[in-house]
Amino acid sequence: MVPLSWYLIVSALLFCIGVFGVLARRNAIAILMSIELMLNAVNLNLIALWRYNFPEYPTGLAFAVFVFVVAAAEAAVGLALIISIYRQRRHVVVEDMDLLKF
């Protein structure tokens, strides 16, 4: 059985990719996908830590399921927003969406 640290390293890498995606990509859909990556990195952490520490309780699994639900809801709302922005501007470049500046 692989040690716990390997899971955590993979999870950290995945999270960093997600963060990079969120900060660097210009396409709103790509940012949404990067957020999904970060959420899944967190899920991986949760499951790994649960499996190695408290396998007798189903708490870690339940927590991961909650995160899926939140991720699904977030994706739904995010996509809806993006579509409505697209309908207005015919593009989804995040850098141009700066109506909330001073």
Q: Which residues bind other proteins (CB under 8 A)?
A: 19, 22-24, 31, 94-95, 97-102
Measured from the CB atom, the residue of 73 and 93 that comes closer to other proteins is: 93
Least Å distance between CB 100 and other proteins? 4
Contact 15, 38 (CB under 8 A): yes
Task: Write the DSSP symbol of residue 71.
Answer: H
Measured from the CB atom, the residue of 69 and 101 that comes closer to other proteins is: 101
For residue 93, the cross-strand partners are 27
The closest alpha carbon to 75, from 32, 44, 40, belongs to 32
Measured from the CB atom, the residue of 28 and 44 that comes closer to other proteins is: 28
